[in-house]
């Protein structure tokens, strides 16, 4: 049985953009710990509006949760919340011309001592660190990820593909969205990271593994990861949410 030991969240505008369209948080209550990252896009610089709507709804729904949820209930909570976020963003975009075409990626992890429920839409990612190493748990909803999946591109080719930022699925761009959800056992998980592509596009998995296996405070690891992305251009906003688990003593 694993318990949440510490958490951190950091978002950074990067070196090029004039505004930060990312949003996120790590929320803690008697229900558990929730890590969340949303990377807004589209509209007339309205990506920040889309990701802010997503975060507001997630926070509101989180605050209304009962003390204890089963794994099935937690996954259903995330599914329902993502659908609500999608509808709210889509409606706002239809009613406000400046927001037309806006949307946001979103990844959420509902962490308890027994399970981790996960939901995601878009190309923001969730990684897990176990004794076996670093694993990307979510699959990007992107053109390049589909090409890799179908054997048309190698992983190496995908890293520098000119169309790698084309997202096939996002919250708010259509009236209906397909949300990928799953629940995994919490045991054996040492650390969980959710990040926007401002980080994953700039820092390779081998480097992520090195950073995430450090014994430093999570706030310092988050700063180091953001610095790596900025040192390599920082063309995009950068966000990272971290949750570290500790083995409970019997």
C-beta separation of 42 from 103 below 8 A: yes
**For position 154, what pLDDT does the model report?**
66
pTM of the predicted protein model: 0.94
**For position 2, what pLDDT does the model report?**
60
The residues spanned by each domain of the chain are 2-136+169-245
Local mean pLDDT, 10-residue blocks, the chain (250 residues): 88 96 97 98 84 99 94 98 99 94 98 97 98 96 75 68 78 97 96 98 96 97 98 97 81
What three-state secondary structure class fits 128?
A: strand
**For position 165, what pLDDT does the model report?**
73
**For position 250, what pLDDT does the model report?**
47
Superfamily holding 2-136+169-245: PPM-type phosphatase domain (3.60.40.10)
**For position 153, what pLDDT does the model report?**
72
């Amino acid at each position: 049985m694993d318990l949440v030991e510490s958490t951190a969240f950091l978002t950074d505008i990067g070196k090029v953009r004039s505004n930060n369209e990312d949003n996120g948080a790590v929320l803690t209550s008697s229900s558990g710990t929730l890590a969340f990252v949303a990377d807004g896009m589209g509209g007339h610089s309205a990506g920040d509006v889309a990701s802010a709507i997503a975060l507001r709804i997630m926070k509101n729904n989180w605050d209304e949760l009962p003390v204890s949820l089963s794994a099935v209930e937690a996954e259903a909570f995330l599914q329902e919340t993502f659908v609500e976020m999608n509808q709210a963003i889509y409606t706002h975009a239809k009613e406000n011309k400046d927001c037309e075409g806006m949307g946001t990626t979103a990844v959420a992890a509902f962490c308890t001592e027994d399970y981790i429920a996960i939901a995601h839409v878009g190309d923001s990612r969730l990684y897990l660190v176990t004794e076996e190493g670093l694993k990307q748990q979510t699959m990007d909803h992107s053109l390049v990820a589909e090409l890799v999946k179908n054997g048309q591109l190698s992983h190496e080719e995908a890293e520098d593909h000119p169309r790698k930022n084309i997202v096939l699925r996002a919250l708010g761009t259509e009236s209906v969205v397909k949300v990928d959800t799953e629940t995994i056992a919490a045991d054996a998980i040492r650390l969980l990271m959710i990040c926007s592509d401002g980080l994953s596009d700039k820092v390779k998995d081998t480097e992520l593994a090195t950073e995430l296996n450090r014994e430093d405070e999570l706030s310092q690891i988050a700063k180091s990861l953001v610095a790596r992305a900025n040192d390599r251009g920082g063309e995009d906003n950068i966000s990272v949410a971290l949750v570290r688990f500790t083995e409970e003593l019997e």
